[in-house]
């Protein structure tokens, strides 16, 4: 399968994913859980064809990030999320966004009811502001975030609460 064709297909799936979520959050549009299932099924086929996670140096940042977002939204299939995480972790540092690995690790932990490591998955607190949910060892979270190229948690939360 040609890289350009694969890239276009992944970006089209990402666009559909984002359009559905934006319509849902902005004006109460219809949530389409089947879209996530369809994207997961098709992405599974694509990653099988390219024999693993798309490499940054081949597919570029936009396609790799779009792929990661689609996997993040595959909450209906945590086993698939875990398989993708393993694919990402097998790549050399220059071929995968380390921050995306951290986000996916936390997403899987949240989906399994375990404490997250990096504080990337948020919930609304009693005061209506976003906060990290079920965070393990909060006193050392910024050290862990730094290793994966993430900003300090306070800045991440500040940005989330500006929306």
Q: What is the pLDDT of residues 41-79, one digit of tens each?
A: 999 999 999 999 999 999 999 999 999 999 999 999 999
**What does the buried/exposed string (b/e) look like for 110-125 if buried means 16 or more CB atoms within 10 Å of the residue's CB?**
bbeeeebbbbbbbeee
- The band of 1, judged by pLDDT with boundaries at 50, 70 and 90, is low
Q: Which are the contacts of 30, defined by CB distance < 8 A and separation ≥ 6?
A: 20, 23, 24
Q: Is the dihedral of CA 72, 85, 4, 51 positive or negative?
A: negative
Indicate the range of 24-38, 77-91, 105-119, 148-162 predicted with least confidence.
Answer: 24-38
State pTM to two decimals.
0.92
**Whole-number Cα distances in Å, 18 to 23, 36, 74, 90, 140:** 8, 11, 13, 28, 33
| Angle at the Cα of 132 from the Cα atoms of 36 and 88, rounded to 5 degrees | 50
- The band of 142, judged by pLDDT with boundaries at 50, 70 and 90, is very high
Q: Is the dihedral of CA 135, 140, 142, 145 positive or negative?
A: negative
Domain-wise residue ranges, the chain: 1-92, 97-163
- Average pLDDT of the residues of the chain: 95
The reported pLDDT for the residue numbered 62 is 98
The reported pLDDT for the residue numbered 20 is 87
């Amino acid at each position: 399968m040609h890289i350009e064709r694969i890239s276009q297909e992944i970006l089209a799936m990402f666009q559909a994913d984002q359009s559905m979520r934006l319509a849902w959050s902005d004006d109460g549009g219809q949530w389409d859980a089947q879209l996530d299932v369809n994207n997961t099924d098709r992405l599974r086929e694509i990653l099988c064809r390219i024999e693993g996670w798309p490499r940054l140096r081949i597919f570029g940042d936009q396609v790799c990030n779009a792929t990661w977002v689609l996997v993040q939204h595959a909450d209906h299939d945590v086993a698939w999320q875990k398989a993708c995480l393993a694919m990402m972790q097998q790549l050399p540092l220059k071929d995968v966004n380390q921050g995306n690995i951290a986000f996916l690790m936390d997403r899987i932990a949240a989906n399994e009811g375990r404490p997250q490591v990096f504080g990337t998955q948020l919930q609304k607190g009693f005061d209506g502001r976003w906060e990290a949910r079920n965070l393990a060892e909060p006193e050392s979270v910024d050290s862990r975030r730094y290793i994966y190229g993430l900003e300090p948690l306070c800045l991440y939360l500040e940005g989330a609460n500006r929306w």
